[in-house]
C-alpha cells in the first residue's frame, strides 16, 4: 500500500486523480479504519490530517463556513452552532460517544454519504452547500444535489470536500433533530427527522423544511409536507396531517435494523414530535 | 513501510510501520503497551481508549500514522512517581474492576471528566462513560468509583497528597 500525507489540497487532489478508484482519503478514520480491518484495503491511502487549514468554524457575513476536518465534538462545543444552528447541534450532541465525536469529522460524515449519517438531514434543512475540489477545479453544490446514493456523491473517486457553507436561518427559526436508534446515541439511526421552521409573527409558518434520514438511498426532504404547512397556523390536526404526509413521502427499505413499515411509523411519530416541539417554543 | 516519531507516556519512540496499522495494534504489538485492550476493534466498546494530543479517542479506529509527531497517553502513563492516579485508586477501593478487561478504558474516560468537572453529577458520569462497555459490573460500582475518585482528588487539593 502506498501512503501519502499531503500538506496542500492541490497535492491531495492530484494524488487522488492519479490513483482514482484505488485510493482512499482518511480523515478521523472512524469509518475507514473499520473498512480497512474488516472489508478491503485501498492501494493508496491519503491521510488529510495535515491539511490543518480545513479545520475551522467561521461565521462570515453571508453564511457560516465549516471546514471539512472540523470534528463533531468541535461542532458540539461551538456556541454559535448551539444557539443559531440548533438542528445541527442536536445531531452533533447525539452523535456516538465522546471518543468518536473527538475523532469523527463533518467532512467524513458527509463524504461517507450514509443515508443514516447524523449531520446530513439537519444540513438539508439548513440548505447547506458542499464546497469541493476535483481535478477539474472547485465546485459549490447544494447538498441535496451532492448526494447521489448510499456512499455515492458528486465527489466521485477523485474529489476532496473542503467544507460546507450554511446560510444563517432567519431569526427565530426553530431547529429540531430527533433520532430513533435502538441503543441510544451509540447506535446507528433507524430513522432521523430534522425540521427547521420559521414563523411569521405568532404561529403562522413562514417556511417549513423537513429532512429525513435512513428512509431512502440518500437523506431527503419531505417537500409535500413542507408545502402543506406553508403559510398556515400550526395546530394539532395540521401537525398530524404533515406527519402522515412525511411518512408517505419516505422511501424506506426493510433491513436487519427495521422493516419499511416500522420506519414509516417512526417517521410519522418523530415528525409529529419535532413539529410539536417547534410549535410549543414559538 | 512508513516512518513515524511520537511521544508515548513521556517517552520518545521512532518506528517504521505499515500505513494501514491502527494506533491500537501499534501501541500493543510494536511498543508493548498492553494496557490498551483489544476488544471490538470497531470503535464501539472503549477498551482501547487512549489520549491522542490530549483528546480521548478509540485507538482501534485511529490510524497510527496520524499520531506522527503527536503525544499519546495510555493507562500506563497515569501513575506518577509510583503513585496511582485517584481514579485508579478508586477503582481498586470500590471493586469497580471484575475481569478488568474494560477497566483501562473506563479509567481514561473518567480522568477526562474529572479534569474538566472536579465535582461531576451522576449524569455527567453516565455521559462520559457512554462509549465504554462493561460486561461484568453492571456499571453501579464504576459510577461509585468515579464519585470516590472525585472526592479523593478534591481532598488531595485541600490537604495535599
Ligand atoms: C462506534 C461508532 C459510532 C458511530 N456513530 C455514528 C453516529 O451516531 N452517527 C453518524 O452519523 N455516524 C456514526 N459513525 C460513523 C462515523 O463516525 C462518521 O461517519 C464520521 O463522521 C466519519 O468521519 P471520519 O472523519 O472519521 O471519516 P473517515 O473514516 O476518515 O472517512 C470516511 C469516508 O469519507 C471519506 N472522506 C473523509 N474526509 C473526506 C473529505 N474531506 N473529502 C472527501 N472524502 C472524505 C473517506 O475517504 C472515507 O471514505 C460511527 C462510527 C463508529 C465507529
Ligand atoms: S476495541 Fe476499540 S473501541 Fe472496542
Ligand atoms: S470488569 Fe469485566 S468487562 Fe468490565
- Domain that residue A59 falls in: 51-167
ipTM (interface pTM): 0.97
Residues A161 and A203 occupy one common structural domain? no
pLDDT in tens, B142-153: 999 999 999 999
Expressed in angstroms and rounded, the spacing between residue A113 Cα and the centre of ligand 1 is: 9
Residues A73 and A140 occupy one common structural domain? yes
Residues A186 and A157 occupy one common structural domain? no
Number of domains in chain A: 2
Cα–Cα distance measured from residue B47 to residue B107, given in angstroms and rounded to the nearest whole number: 10
Residues in Cβ contact with B138 at an 8 Å cutoff, skipping those fewer than 6 apart = none
Say yes or no: CB of residue A100 within 6 Å of ligand 1.
yes
Say yes or no: CB of residue B44 within 6 Å of ligand 1.
yes
Query: Is the minimum CB–CB distance between B80 and chain A shorter than 8 Å?
Result: no
- Ligand index nearest the alpha carbon of residue A21: 1
Residues A95 and A159 occupy one common structural domain? yes
Identify the pLDDT of residue A171.
86
pLDDT in tens, A59-115: 999 999 999 999 999 999 999 999 999 999 999 999 999 999 999 999 999 999 999
Q: Which residues pair with B58 in a beta bridge?
A: B49
Domains of chain B plus CATH, in order, are: 2-75 (3.10.20.30), 86-159 (1.10.150.120)
Packing angle between helix B86-94 and helix B103-116, nearest 10 degrees? 130
The residue among A254, A249, A233, A129 whose CA lies nearest residue A193 is: A249
Cα–Cα distance measured from residue B35 to residue A130, given in angstroms and rounded to the nearest whole number: 41
Residue A95 alpha carbon, nearest atom of ligand 1: 8
In DSSP notation, A130-166 reads EEEEETTEEEEEEHHHHEEETTEETTTTT-EEEEEEE
State yes or no: pLDDT of B161 exceeds 70: no
Q: How confident is the model at residue A201 (pLDDT cuts 50, 70, 90)?
A: confident
Query: Is the minimum CB–CB distance between A5 and chain B shorter than 8 Å?
Result: yes
Closest residue, chain A, to B113 (C-alpha): A98
Expressed in angstroms and rounded, the spacing between residue B1 Cα and the centre of ligand 3 is: 36
Query: Is the minimum CB–CB distance between A96 and chain B shorter than 8 Å?
Result: yes
Q: Which of A97, A101, A105, A188 to mutate to test the interface with B (most CBs of B within 10 A)?
A: A97
Cα–Cα distance measured from residue A101 to residue A95, given in angstroms and rounded to the nearest whole number: 7
Identify the pLDDT of residue A188.
85
State yes or no: pLDDT of B7 exceeds 70: yes
Closest residue, chain B, to A50 (C-alpha): B66
Identify the pLDDT of residue B79.
96
Cell triple for A23:
485510493
* Average pLDDT of span A33-62: 97
Residues A55 and A157 occupy one common structural domain? yes
Amino acid at each position: 500500500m502506498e501512503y501519502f500525507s499531503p500538506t496542500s489540497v492541490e497535492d491531495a487532489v492530484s494524488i487522488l486523480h492519479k490513483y482514482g478508484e484505488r485510493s482512499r482519503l482518511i480523515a478521523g478514520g472512524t469509518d475507514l479504519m473499520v473498512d480497512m480491518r474488516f472489508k478491503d484495503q485501498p492501494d493508496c491511502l491519503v491521510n488529510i490530517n495535515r491539511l490543518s487549514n480545513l479545520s475551522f468554524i467561521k461565521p462570515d457575513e453571508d453564511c457560516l463556513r465549516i471546514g471539512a476536518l472540523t470534528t463533531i465534538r468541535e461542532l458540539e462545543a461551538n456556541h454559535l452552532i448551539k444557539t443559531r444552528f440548533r438542528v445541527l447541534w442536536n445531531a452533533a450532541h447525539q452523535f456516538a460517544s465522546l471518543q468518536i465525536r473527538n475523532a469523527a469529522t463533518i467532512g467524513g460524515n458527509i463524504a461517507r454519504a450514509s443515508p443514516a449519517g447524523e449531520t446530513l438531514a439537519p444540513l438539508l434543512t439548513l440548505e447547506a452547500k458542499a464546497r469541493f475540489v476535483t481535478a477539474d477545479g472547485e465546485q459549490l453544490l447544494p447538498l441535496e444535489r451532492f448526494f447521489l446514493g448510499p456512499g455515492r456523491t458528486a465527489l466521485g473517486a477523485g474529489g476532496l470536500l473542503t467544507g460546507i457553507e450554511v446560510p444563517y436561518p432567519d431569526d427565530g427559526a426553530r431547529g429540531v433533530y430527533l433520532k430513533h436508534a435502538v441503543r441510544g446515541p451509540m447506535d446507528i439511526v433507524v430513522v432521523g427527522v430534522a425540521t427547521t421552521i420559521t414563523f411569521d409573527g405568532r404561529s403562522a409558518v413562514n417556511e417549513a423544511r423537513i429532512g429525513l434520514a435512513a428512509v431512502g438511498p440518500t437523506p431527503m426532504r419531505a417537500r409535500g409536507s413542507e408545502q402543506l404547512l406553508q403559510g398556515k397556523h400550526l395546530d394539532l390536526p395540521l401537525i398530524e396531517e404533515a406527519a402522515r404526509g412525511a411518512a408517505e413521502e419516505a422511501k424506506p427499505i426493510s433491513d436487519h435494523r427495521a422493516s419499511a413499515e416500522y420506519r414509516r411509523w417512526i417517521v410519522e411519530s418523530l415528525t409529529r414530535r419535532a413539529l410539536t416541539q417547534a410549535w410549543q417554543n414559538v | 513501510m512508513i516512518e513515524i516519531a511520537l511521544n508515548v507516556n513521556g517517552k520518545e519512540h521512532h518506528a517504521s510501520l505499515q500505513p494501514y496499522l491502527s494506533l491500537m495494534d501499534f501501541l500493543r504489538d510494536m511498543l508493548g503497551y498492553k494496557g490498551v485492550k483489544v476488544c471490538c476493534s470497531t470503535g464501539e466498546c472503549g477498551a482501547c481508549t487512549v489520549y491522542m494530543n490530549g483528546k480521548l479517542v478509540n485507538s482501534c479506529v485511529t490510524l497510527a500514522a496520524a499520531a506522527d509527531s503527536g503525544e499519546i497517553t495510555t493507562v500506563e502513563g497515569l501513575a506518577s512517581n509510583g503513585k496511582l492516579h485517584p481514579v485508579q485508586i478508586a477503582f481498586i477501593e470500590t471493586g469497580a474492576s471484575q475481569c478488568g478487561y474494560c477497566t483501562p478504558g473506563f479509567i481514561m474516560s473518567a480522568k477526562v471528566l474529572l479534569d474538566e468537572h472536579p465535582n461531576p453529577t451522576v449524569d455527567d458520569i453516565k455521559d462520559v462513560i457512554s462509549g465504554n462497555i462493561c460486561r461484568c459490573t453492571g456499571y453501579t460500582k464504576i459510577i461509585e468509583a468515579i464519585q470516590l475518585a472525585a472526592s479523593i482528588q478534591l481532598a488531595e487539593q485541600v490537604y495535599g497528597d
